[in-house]
Structure 1
Amino acid sequence: MSTFWSVTVTVVVLLNILACVWLLIWTSKKQPGEVAEGAEKDHVWDGDLRELNNPLPRWWLHTFILSIVFALGYLVAYPGLGNFPGLLGWSQHKQHDERLAEVQEQRQSFYAQFEGKSVTELAGDPAARSFGSELYSIQCAGCHGVNAQGAVGFPNLRDDVWIWGGDAQAIHTTIAKGRQAVMPQFYATLDQETVPALIEYVRNWDNADLRGERLALAQQTFQRNCMACHGPDGQGNPLMGAPNLRNGEWLYGGSEEAVRQSILFGRNGNMPAFGNALSALDIDLLAAYVLGLNEGGAE
């Protein structure tokens, strides 16, 4: 703080302490027999209790004096009088840095057991999985659920269905760099007759109750609008984040209305990147935990 405010704070603090000293001295004067202001001399209770201005008991007075001595000693040892740092050199910044260094040392000691291990190796390490589960609870459970079973728009991490790939490297990349999936909308390009046929074809695929021209229309529409991403056989493309349409797993729901919504109005799935929020080893541990979930190796 500036010199002006430093002097002001120091003066105010010392004046308050001096005022307390003066108050103690004034109230400690013995005034035996003095009647309290406004009280009558014969104002007596229970025969012998009279309202008087007696001084404080000695033990109480001594306690106040010790408090003042402690306050002065504290202000000499620690910051409290403006810019005066105190004789002990203590500061909040120094304490923060010392505690942070201690935590970082403990953290490095803990992480040392995982250094140099691949994601696959970490997935088989119970200690790594245990810590990875804690990271998951903090970073991922809000979207994928406490049990990692996902929700509408958020993939289930416990099955073997992976939109962007489920090997160690793919999972690591998903966590570190994030993913952005885009299902374009076809509201303006598909007519009312085409949409119901395409929906039935996509929802049922091999069991679609489509025949003749209706089946041909659905297949042509799929090839023209969907095949580039989902593949000619509808089994998806992990490189593009295009899901498999034939495995019965639906990220946004597989009902007729949900599929209609996806086709007509599109979807935008976003997996945030954690590369700047977590350390490289944290990402390895988190990827190992997720990989272990898929393999049944972590709980």
Structure 2
Amino acid sequence: MSDFISSGWSLFVAGVVALGLVFCVVLLVIASKRKVMANDNTTGHVWDENLQELNNPLPRWWMGLFVITVVFAVLYLAIYPGFGSSEGALKWSSVGQWEKEQAKAKEALTQVYAQFENMPVETLAANTQAMGIGERLFSNNCAGCHGSDARGSKTFPNLTDGDWLGGDGSPAYIAKTIAEGRQGMMPPMAAAVGGPEDVKNVANYVLSLSGSAHNSISAQLGKSKFGACAACHGADGKGTQALGAPNLTDKIWLHGWGEEAVIAIINNGKSNMMPQHASRLTPEQIKVLAGYVWSLSRKPAAQTALNTVQ
């Protein structure tokens, strides 16, 4: 890869550009010296018995355009980069242009978000303009995983049901999760539970906790083996929020439902990750987005706040 950024390539590009311009000038000189022959100005090519190809010089208007093109190329290479590693008189670069546009956009966005800076999230969630911005931020950054309606899909949590694995679902927790990301992991538990039959029994017991379809005999046998899972999920199976261990009694199945799905997770464990967005979004954007996500599972609370504001 170092070969492509060495000074040799810069010299090669500059040489190709220079030769191209020299060739154009030589071509112009040769073409300008061509004269119309007084006696026979044909090329010798004849079609349809009497249709002859003439060897006339180039029209003056075409020659003029060609000269203008060459002059423009020279001026362009003097002003803008293009002649090897030369930066050009204006020192222009695509990176510099991008940075200027980003700075301009950031300045404009700062003015938009300034009005939300001192708003509590509860009030923010009732602000129509803020929620419109939050919805667009969600569509651009979150909908790819959580869906356009925020109801998620397999392995991607539903953000509208108020069920939060790693925290209390407060605006501060949501903002922290958006900014820093989050990784949840359940280790393989088959060895701790016992053999394949024990795993099956525990899976049925887990299903029984939420009243899901299960084998009652297997569930009864698996109850005593559930102790290996209780350290995280609790003796009653209602989970431990601080550990990110889900509630097994609420019929919310993030990674699949049914005996086979539960057995697979017990055998293989599960690792799930939400990426951090602090490098993509500003703190002001994260605040507005957190307010929008918070409002999705608290529509009545948001509406009450709106009525209070009005």
Q: TM-score by structure 2 length?
A: 0.76
Change over 3 Å in CA distance of 1:7–1:249 after alignment to 2? closer
Label 1:119 to 1:65 Cα distance change in 2 as closer, same or farther (>3 A). Answer: same
The RMSD of aligned alpha carbons is 3.4
Aligned to 1:236: 239
Deviation at 1:196, TM superposition (A): 3.9
- Name the CA distance, whole Å, in 2 between partners of 1:125 and 1:289: 10
Residue number in structure 2 paired with 1:248: 251
Aligned: 1:12 with 2:19: yes
Contact 1:118/1:284, CA 8 A, preserved across alignment: no
TM-score (normalizing by structure 1): 0.79
Contact (CA 8 Å) 1:185, 1:263: kept in 2 or not? yes
Q: Which residue of 2 aligns with 1:268?
A: 271
SS at match of 2:205: helix
The alpha-carbon deviation at position 129 of structure 1 amounts to 2.1
1:188-207 pair list within 5 angstroms: 188-189=191-192, 190-205=194-209
- In our comparison, the structure showing a higher alpha carbon Rg is 1
CA offsets, 1:103-151, max 9 Å, x none?
2322322332332334333322222222222322232223222322212
| Distance 1:252-1:24 versus aligned 2 partners, 3 A rule | same
SS at match of 1:51: strand
Partners of 2:83 and 2:189 in 1: CA distance: 71
Change (3 A) 1:219 1:7: closer
**CA–CA distance in 1 between the matches of 2:139 and 2:257?**
28
Q: Which residue of 1 aligns with 2:68?
A: 66
Q: Deviations over 1:222-247 (max 9, x none)?
A: 2x212222222222111111111111
Contact 2:31–2:57 (CA under 8 A) maintained in structure 1? no
Counting matched residue pairs gives 288
Give the conservation status (yes or no) of the 8 Å contact 2:202–2:225.
Answer: yes
Q: 2:224 aligns with which of 216, 220, 225?
A: 220
CA contact (8 A) 1:34 1:53 kept: no
Deviates more, 1:53-62 or 1:281-290: 53-62
Alignment CA distance shift 1:275-1:70 (3 Å): closer
Unaligned runs of 5+ in 2: 1-6, 304-310
Q: Deviations over 1:35-65 (max 9, x none)?
A: 32335xxx58687x54322223333333333
Map of 1:22 onto structure 2: 29
Tell me the distance in 2 between the aligned counterparts of 1:44 and 1:209: 93
- Contact between 2:21 and 2:70, CA under 8 Å: does it hold in 1? no
Give yes or no for contact 1:114–1:128 (8 Å, CA) kept in 2: yes
Q: In the alignment, which of 115, 140, 143 is matched to residue 141 of structure 1? A: 143
Question: Which AA in structure 2 matches 1:38?
Answer: G
Matched with 1:154 is 156
Matched to 1:148, the amino acid is A
Q: How many Å separate the matches in 2 of 1:75 and 1:255?
A: 68
C-alpha contact (below 8 Å) 1:32/1:54 kept by paired residues: no
Match of 2:121 in 1: 119
**Residue identity (%):** 36
1:37 aligns to 2:43 (yes or no): yes
* Alignment match, 2:285: 282
CA distance in 2, matches of 1:281, 1:287: 10
**Shift of the alpha carbon at 1:255?**
0.7
The Cα shift of 1:160 comes to 2.3
Q: 1:81 Cα shift?
A: 5.4
CA distance in 2, matches of 1:192, 1:78: 70
State the AA in 1 paired with 2:31.
Answer: L
1:180 is paired with a residue of what secondary structure?
strand
Classify 1:233/1:82 alpha carbon distance in 2 versus 1 (closer, same or farther; 3 Å): closer
Distance 1:119 1:218, change over 3 A: same
In the alignment, the residues of structure 2 paired with residue 75 and residue 121 of structure 1 have an alpha-carbon distance, to the nearest angstrom, of 56
* Distance (whole Å) between structure 2 residues aligned to residue 206 and residue 69 of structure 1: 80
Change (3 A) 1:163 1:84: closer
